[in-house]
Structure 1
């Protein structure tokens, strides 16, 4: 379902641009979903990072850590989940720790400095990075080339913990849509009842999914959308423009007390809202 971009109503994954990205990326694991959320931002999209990520995933570009000419084997565990692309802020910090022996606090200061791009602070960090790399037996020129690459991508880096949290909710809503399609779509349409245009789009999605939607019915409908015993979605009366919650509750109360309405006159006689 995800690889087919059938993600309408799925958290974070329902926009047209995101659907196009999903089709290109073809995510096949949760780690890819985390990356998907981080990639769908102006910086990565405009910088070419997204194209590199997709090409590396599908074998059209050689995977390196992080660059074919300038890489170090110690960075493979850090960058392997993202096919050698420096995608997350946490990776910037991990690279500094692995290559140059930064403390966690020092690595966070480096991340902040790269984000602010202050020349004097960057010059200081370059020196610290190079000295630390040399102490670890890494060539100074290689260290500086990797530093330049890290600095380039640091401006586009996204917080992985945020991306993972979003991706988890995306996965959960996608799972609900796949395993409980009628209940999921009924809940989503109820949440968007005040937005007629959105409801129309969701109704179209229900038809595409092969779900049956029953029209508004005073004898079976509730204020919200719900699923009947036959697995059909019953249209929420509250989604009808101009019909408030109070009158709907009065109709439901009269129906519960006196049974189904036989005709319009019966409806009018038994409701006094």
Structure 2
């Protein structure tokens, strides 16, 4: 019979207290909550240790456990895919408030597909389409939108969408990258080191991709259809000007609680 120290003995799971201590030492502010998530995600003691090691090295918690919570949904995420932020829930809320009866939804620059999935959950069986230029994002979004019957396309913005959608889109959510290029190196390490630059870098002033989306939006939106995009407080005036110059009726929505700024442009 093997002794407890024998190589053939099963590994003992790290105690919750040891996990919390390791996470706290690594700078995790919500170490207790993260420990619970890791313990619920792991199936074996070795897997617990492996997940703790990944988190301690700086991998975002969502990528460690394989999912992120977004408006009450469990959104699958994987390495190389942008992790949905809680502040983006405000964009979804604004979209649903603007068009509670929307029947055709597009999630452009979809990343994991979190926005499209949340819109699908908040509407009455809409037709959902999503697109991203990154193959890893497309793969991930297909998993997250499968239950809603969503269709996900690979390609650059509107070029990825089927032509049959022109003039039919009620809600066009475009969570475009909006960090100015010079500020990308200043981002927290979790984003800077573990998320794709394409999902972060918005060009010199952070508005390059928004300009491209706004320029094409009028051809894809239905009458009364709305484009929604997240931006920063500092960029908001310029972002509103981008939408206005594209012929949309623009306004800004702000959540002080989430520190979220969403520009909305409606086709007349």
Does the pair score TM above 0.5? Answer: no
Larger Rg: 1
TM-score by length of 1: 0.24
TM-score by length of 2: 0.24
Higher helix share: 1
